[in-house]
Each structure stands twice: as structure tokens, then as C-alpha cells.
Amino acid sequence: MDTKKYSNILKALSHPHRLELFLEIAKCQEKDFENCECLISEVTKYFKIGAPTISHHLKELSSVGLIITEKKGKYLVARVNKEVLSELGSLFNKQF
């Protein structure tokens, strides 16, 4: 078990803005089931924080593997990394 990896994931989600951002990306992904990705420009409309701050939070979520981001033309898209969520879920299922 890689406790350091899981600790970093939980630490990333412990910040309220990052958790909200992650949940918005997941919600957006559910709505658009065909593409399974979310335009970051759409998600940022829900937040009252600046673009540099959002960029920082996206980088944190991406660095621990919770989301995968990529450029599509002039847009940045993100999707939830379901493998990491599955690993995290397995971790808690084993413990309880």
C-alpha cells in the first residue's frame, strides 16, 4: 500500500476550492457522457476566484492524479481519473 500517494491525494482534496473544483469537473463529466471531459472555461464560471488560482488548483489535482488535463485547440479540458478513484475506494473498502 502506497500510503504517501493516498495521503497526497487526500491532502489535495482537503482544500475547499480544490474539492469544489474536482466535484464540478466530475459533475460536468456526468452530464456529457459522450465526451467524458469538461471544459475548464465552463467550470470556472462557478467560482469567484481568479484564473491563476484556478490554474494552481488544477495543477495540484493533476499532480496527484485525480484529474487528467489536456489542451484541445485553445481550450483546456479535464476529466476525472477513475483509476485513482477506484484505488482510493479500494483502500477504504479494505480497511472497513
Averages of pLDDT over runs of 10 residues in the chain (96 residues) are 90 96 88 69 86 94 96 92 91 77
Say if strands 75-80 and 38-39 run parallel, antiparallel, or are unpaired: antiparallel
pLDDT value of residue 95: 64
- Angle of the 82-95 helix axis to the 3-13 helix axis, nearest 10: 110
pLDDT (0 to 100) of residue 76? 92
pTM for the model stands at 0.87
Predicted pLDDT of residue 42: 84
The pLDDT of residue 32 is: 58
Tell me if 6 sits within 8 A of 88, measured CB to CB: yes
**What is the structure's pLDDT at 35?**
60
Taking every pair of C-alpha atoms in the chain, what is the biggest distance, in angstroms? 45
Non-local (6+) Cβ contacts of 52 within 8 A are none
